[in-house]
């Protein structure tokens, strides 16, 4: 069999290679923007060294009656802290110990097998929870209401409507409800601010590569909901759907809008 390729095949291979070269900077740029946006929101994904528990941006009882004070205290002070403690333990003595959380998540594929699961679960858990606290606010004090501006327009374009039957809220609730076992529901944005609703298992994050986040689930998190039972069981027992409904009362749409705007090209803002 001849090892020569036709001119058409050569053109096709060149086109694929060129596409990959062009795509790499776009992906890197999108990730860099995501990191910058989250830093502005209060989460520095490029802070190196031992992880520490960030304080809640509101009191434990500030999200009541939708999320109760006892759940917030246990969720933040115990569960989140456990992820941090276990992450620091898994990273101690390794080349990753002084790396940033963003860098660690980006290198999961190269992490030794005996450390991979612990680092994936616990660094992922720390990052996910750090985002979660910042994406909520007390009702009437930044929490609740509906998205406005470019984010509202993008939601309507992607999902048909925000709150109408079959629209964004219904689609998000369906994804959150159908997540089997433990995990998260997310609204994520890709280049150009295009929105998708995705779900990740356990403590996997959209900030991880698709191999870990799941097919199509990598991107800039705009909104996230923890559907692990520890996030709602004290108040809602096994009624996850009621917890999801209550969540809309504490969503920080202003922060979500800021994150979304940062994913858009300058020519798209104000459309």
Residues 6 or more apart whose CB falls under 8 angstroms from that of 249 comprise 66, 139, 143, 144
The pLDDT tens digits of the residues spanning 218-235 come to: 999 999 999 999 999 999
Question: Is 47 within the bounds of a domain?
Answer: no
The pLDDT tens digits of the residues spanning 118-170 come to: 999 999 999 999 999 999 999 999 999 999 999 999 999 999 999 999 999 99
Token pair recorded at residue 65: 């009656």
The domain containing residue 176 runs over which residues?
69-268
For residue 193, the Cα-to-chain-centroid distance in whole angstroms is 14
Question: Is 101 within the bounds of a domain?
Answer: yes
Domain at 166, CATH number: 3.55.40.20
Question: Is 31 within the bounds of a domain?
Answer: no
Q: How many domains does the chain have?
A: 1
The pLDDT tens digits of the residues spanning 23-63 come to: 444 445 666 777 887 888 888 988 888 999 999 999 999 99
Question: Is 1 within the bounds of a domain?
Answer: no
Question: Is 15 within the bounds of a domain?
Answer: no
């Amino acid at each position: 069999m001849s090892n020569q390729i036709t001119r058409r095949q050569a053109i096709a291979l060149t086109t694929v290679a060129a596409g990959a070269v062009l795509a790499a900077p776009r992906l890197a740029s999108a990730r860099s923007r995501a990191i910058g946006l989250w830093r502005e929101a209060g989460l520095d994904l490029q802070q190196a060294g031992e992880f520490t528990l960030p304080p809640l941006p509101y009191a434990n009882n500030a999200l009541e009656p939708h999320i109760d004070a006892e759940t917030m205290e246990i969720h933040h002070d115990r569960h989140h802290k456990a992820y941090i403690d276990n992450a620091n333990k898994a990273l101690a003595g390794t080349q990753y110990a002084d790396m940033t959380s963003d860098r660690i998540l980006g290198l999961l594929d190269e992490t030794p097998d005996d450390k991979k699961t612990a680092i994936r679960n616990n660094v992922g858990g720390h990052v996910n929870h750090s985002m979660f606290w910042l994406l909520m606010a007390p009702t009437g004090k930044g929490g609740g209401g509906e998205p406005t501006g470019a984010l509202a327009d993008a939601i309507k374009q992607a999902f048909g409507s925000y709150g109408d039957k079959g629209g964004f809220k219904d689609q998000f609730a369906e994804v959150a409800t159908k997540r089997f076992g433990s995990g998260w529901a997310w609204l994520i944005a890709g280049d150009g601010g295009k929105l998708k609703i995705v779900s990740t298992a356990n403590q996997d994050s959209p900030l991880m590569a698709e191999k870990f986040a799941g097919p199509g689930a990598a991107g800039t998190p705009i909104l996230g909901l923890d559907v692990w039972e520890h996030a709602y069981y004290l108040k809602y027992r096994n009624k996850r759907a009621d917890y999801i409904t209550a969540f809309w009362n504490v969503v920080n749409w202003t922060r979500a809008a800021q994150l979304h705007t940062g994913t858009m090209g300058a020519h798209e803002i104000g459309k």
